[in-house]
Structure 1
Amino acid sequence: MNDGMPAGLSRALPDEAATAALARLVAGVLDHGLVVYLHGPLGAGKTSFARALLQALGVGERVKSPTYSLVEGYATAQRPAWHLDLYRIADPAELEWLGLDALADPAALVLVEWPERGAGALPAADLHVHLDYVGPGRQAMLSASTARGQDVLARLS
């Protein structure tokens, strides 16, 4: 039973250009802050998706992977944006020193790679983007866990 809420959205991603196109579509329907958890194995396109989404929102500077810095902040025309890569985190308690209070801003866009490594220390996800390998390409499955996430899925449908 989905209570009239949009079901998950699935997209085939034959190449990196398709991943970027999906991210641009998501950027095009954002009119509020959003917490997006990016799931998937190494190399599945999480950073590519985040980079394309941030660039579509007007980030003019180089969008780099925050693998070593753990978090990168950006200013878009409409909202602050944060990109986290928690691959190197062994324990969510390690995030305390990062000063993640800014992530709680409801107007902010928060993109989190490897969110399971920050369980309990992160704001709850509005939208989950699961990226995985399928044959020679990849597959994206988007699902919502809040009304804000459901709004994004409805606009994409």
Structure 2
Amino acid sequence: MDEKAAATLDFELPSEAATLRLGAALAARVAAGDLLLLRGDLGAGKTALARALVQSHLGAHGLSDDVPSPTFTLVQTYESPALLITHVDLYRVEEPSELRELGLGEAVDEGVVIVEWPERAEAKMKRLSHDRLDISLSLVPEGMRHARLEGSGSWAARLEGLTI
């Protein structure tokens, strides 16, 4: 698929349960080589969405694991018989040299990489994978959240028919 081909979907997330359903729906569509970039202010639901995706994928393979925020460890990995998922939080990354130590390129080659705060390394993130899903989460009135999904590469087609 053409690099410029993209698809966009918007979802209202009125509750944590809706965020969990979105994570489960995405878990059913992830594949090796994918890069998922999660943007949004503190408290917008990035970690909750990543956690739901990881737990849903593991659960589909009869596995379970605690999925903590990688804010302090920077990287957490989860493995199923089908896929290696690497969950990264760049909030505390200050220097580009720190990115090299994380091995993100290798992680994308081996499985799926979910990155919170990708804007801390935007140029590097966009070079990591053609199959990219950009997810922007925002807080809206009355405690609801809004999710905008923009799929590039094979994600443009995989977003078709996605419902929560």
TM-score for both structures, normalised by structure 1: 0.87
Instruction: Calculate percent identity across the aligned residue pairs.
Output: 39
Shift of 1:118: 2.1
> Following the alignment from structure 1 to structure 2, what is the Cα–Cα distance between the partners of residues 81 and 63?
11
Given that 1:92 and 1:119 are in contact with CA atoms closer than 8 Å, whether structure 2 keeps it comes out as no
Larger deviation: 71-80 or 116-125?
116-125
| Alignment of 1:77 onto 2:84 | no
2:19 alignment counterpart: 19
Structure 1 pair 95–29 and aligned structure 2 pair: CA distance change class (3 A): closer
Shift of 1:49: 0.3
1:53 alignment counterpart: 53
> Following the alignment from structure 1 to structure 2, what is the Cα–Cα distance between the partners of residues 97 and 7?
32
CA-to-aligned-CA distance 1:59-93 (integer Å, 9 cap, x gap): 51111110001011110231111000000112222
2:159 alignment counterpart: 153
Shift of 1:142: 0.3
Q: 1:38 is paired with a residue of what secondary structure?
A: strand
| Alignment of 1:35 onto 2:29 | no
Letter in 1 for 2:118: P
Unaligned 5+ residue runs, structure 1?
A: none
Unaligned 5+ residue runs, structure 2?
A: none
Given that 1:27 and 1:53 are in contact with CA atoms closer than 8 Å, whether structure 2 keeps it comes out as yes
TM-score for both structures, normalised by structure 2: 0.83
Given that 2:31 and 2:112 are in contact with CA atoms closer than 8 Å, whether structure 1 keeps it comes out as no
1:99 alignment counterpart: 103
Letter in 2 for 1:48: A
| Alignment of 1:143 onto 2:150 | yes
- Superposed CA RMSD in Å reads 1.9
> Following the alignment from structure 2 to structure 1, what is the Cα–Cα distance between the partners of residues 97 and 31?
32
